Each structure stands twice: as C-alpha cells, then as structure tokens.
Chains A and B, each alone.
Chain A
C-alpha cells in the first residue's frame, strides 16, 4: 500500500522567512496530494492541494510543487507569520470512483518565531 514520508519533523523559522516541508510517496497510482494544517486540539484543515496533472499550484503565501517522476511533493510558505505555527500534514491518495482514502505523513511541527 501507499507510504508517505514527511520531513522535517520540526521546523523553526524566523517571522518573515520561508518554510519548506517535503514529502515522498511510494505508490505511483497516487494522483491527489493535499496539505492540512492542524492547530493544537483542532481539526485538520485543508490549506492547499494538487493533482497529478499539475506541477505547481499557488495560493497567496503558500505553494505546492509536485515531481511525479521522483514521487515527491513540497509545501512552500513564504513570509511566515506567527499564526502559521501549527502541525502540517501531507497526504496522498489515488482517488477512485468509490472513495479517496488519504494516507498521511507523520507531520511537521512548524514554529514561527517573532
């Protein structure tokens, strides 16, 4: 089955700097790659996603890149702010007509120091 590895496990950056989180996946059939942000005790919130027919997607300060050949995808956050501090999870799935099981990475604790 699918396996998703995520690095680093913790990341500390200064406010205003960029943060990059990387994930690799094992199943070449995976075609959907979302990123979730989870604050302490809260639900995972979808912040950006990318499908396998696209190499890059951007939404204001966040962007995701996908390299299908190498089976890795990355989250980029620019101009980090203290409110970006949270746990970020990547996930992969091979969406099919009967459902879309998400396989999550282990998470990255992002700390933005002001």
Chain B
C-alpha cells in the first residue's frame, strides 16, 4: 500500500539556521499539507498546497516558512531562520487522487525538529 514518506526522521539545528524538511506524497494525490505537533499537544495545520500553489495557510505559517514542489514527487517545507519554538514534529500529508476525492488525508511518519 502506498505511503507518504518523509526525510529526515530527526533534524537537530541551531537557532537561526535554515532547515528543509522533505516529503514524498502518495504518487497520484493532488493535495498536500504540512502540520506540526508540539510534544504532547494536538496536531496543528500549517499549510495546504494544490495546483502548484498555496491554497490555505494558518497564522503559524508566517514569512519564515515556505513550501515548494520542486519536481513531480517531492514536497518541501523550509523554515528560513529557526526559533526555539519551532521545535516540534512536522507531518506531511496528502490526499485526493481525484479532484472530487480530497477528503481522506494520509500522514507521513514525521520529522522531529529540535532547535537548540
């Protein structure tokens, strides 16, 4: 069964550094998402991406964040200048093999980002 994959599984970085988190969504899906989960808390929406552009973003997704689909398979989240409070598990998700089936979202295994 196809799965969403993410790399790396764990990233440690120093405050102020740039990080890029990578995701490979399920191959025929059309909708892509990033969520984050601070340890012990609920999953929070960051951004959705459809038709090669951001379709919706949350208040968390400020100018320090960007997303890109550089090729036909990868979907990346970049944090330009990391802060301590960016430490969290970041999940990529994808859905929608057809435009009318954009509901069920399948999550990747996550990247644990630790900012020191």
Chain B nearest CB from A98 CB (Å) reads 4
Is B55 in the interface zone, CB < 8 Å from A?
Answer: yes
CB of B105 within 8 A of CB of A34, answer yes
CB of A102 within 8 A of CB of B105, answer yes
- Contacts of B55 on A, CB cut-off 8 Å? 98-99
CA distance A89 to B105 in the complex (A): 14
A-B contact count (CB 8 A): 68
CB of B42 within 8 A of CB of A100, answer no
Interface string of B43-82 (1 = CB under 8 A from A): 1110011110001101000000000000000000000000
CA distance A106 to B43 in the complex (A): 8
Partner of A104, one of B44, B49, B95: B44
CA distance A85 to B43 in the complex (A): 19
- Contacts of A45 on B, CB cut-off 8 Å? 107
Is B97 in the interface zone, CB < 8 Å from A?
Answer: no
CB of B102 within 8 A of CB of A100, answer yes
Partner of A46, one of B31, B35, B45, B104: B104
CB of B56 within 8 A of CB of A98, answer yes
**Which chain A residue has the least Cβ–Cβ distance from B101?**
A95
**Which chain A residue has the least Cβ–Cβ distance from B102?**
A100
CB of A34 within 8 A of CB of B104, answer yes
**Which chain A residue has the least Cβ–Cβ distance from B91?**
A43
CA distance A107 to B43 in the complex (A): 9
- Contacts of B50 on A, CB cut-off 8 Å? 98-99
Is A61 in the interface zone, CB < 8 Å from B?
Answer: no
- Contacts of B99 on A, CB cut-off 8 Å? 97
CB of A46 within 8 A of CB of B102, answer no
Is A51 in the interface zone, CB < 8 Å from B?
Answer: yes
CB of B42 within 8 A of CB of A43, answer no
CA distance A4 to B30 in the complex (A): 26
CB of B105 within 8 A of CB of A46, answer yes
B→A interface (CB under 8 Å):
31, 33, 35, 41-45, 48-51, 55-56, 58, 91, 95-96, 99, 102-110
Q: A34-B104, A107-B42 are in contact. List 10 more A-B contacts (CB 8 A).
A: A32-B103, A36-B43, A43-B107, A89-B43, A95-B103, A98-B55, A99-B56, A102-B43, A105-B42, A106-B41
